């Protein structure tokens, strides 16, 4: 269960678009349309805050249609809502296109996925174990 609090009476509760959807849609809550000019990033409010259980986080992703149709994305590409954050979730939307992009009240601006997380003990060592891949990086497999 994911607890959601409306910070604005006009905020739209997140919902899955289909039974097989991995992510739920998160919408903008605006008094007036926001214009995002080419090259510009604009912070879009959702009017929502979440109570994410300890051991989980919400990953925030761009909507594929925004990138494919309008060359618009989340500015930081992937956002994270940690389990101890209780503030309003915002979408920082970046316009990489050549045309103005408008966001209206109620527009779906990003999508979220709840994932399991685990904090680990970070230990500095002098050597790492060997693998077949070893140091093979980009394009090595």
Model pLDDT for residues 96-133, shown as the tens digit of each residue: 999 999 999 999 999 999 999 999 999 999 999 988 87
**What is the H or E stretch that residue 14 is in?**
none
What are the tokens at 3?
């607890």
Q: Is the dihedral of CA 128, 136, 119, 116 positive or negative?
A: negative
pLDDT above 80: residue 134: no
65 DSSP 8-state letter: H
Q: Is the dihedral of CA 23, 19, 12, 35 positive or negative?
A: positive
pLDDT per residue as tens digits for the range 83-99? 999 999 999 999 999 99
59 pLDDT tier (thresholds 50, 70, 90) = very high
140 pLDDT tier (thresholds 50, 70, 90) = low
């Amino acid at each position: 269960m994911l607890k959601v609090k409306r910070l604005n009476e006009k905020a739209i509760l997140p919902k899955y678009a289909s039974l097989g959807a991995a992510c739920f849609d998160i919408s903008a809550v605006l008094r007036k349309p926001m214009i995002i000019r080419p090259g510009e990033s604009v912070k879009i409010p959702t009017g929502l805050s979440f109570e994410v259980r300890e051991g989980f986080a919400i990953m925030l992703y761009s909507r594929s249609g925004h990138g494919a149709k309008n060359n618009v994305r989340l500015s930081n590409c992937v956002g994270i809502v940690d389990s101890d954050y209780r503030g309003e979730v915002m979408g920082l939307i970046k316009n990489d296109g050549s045309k103005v992009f408008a966001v209206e009240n109620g527009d779906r601006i990003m999508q979220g996925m709840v994932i399991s997380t685990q904090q680990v003990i970070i230990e500095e060592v002098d050597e790492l174990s060997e693998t077949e891949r070893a140091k093979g990086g980009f394009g090595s497999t």
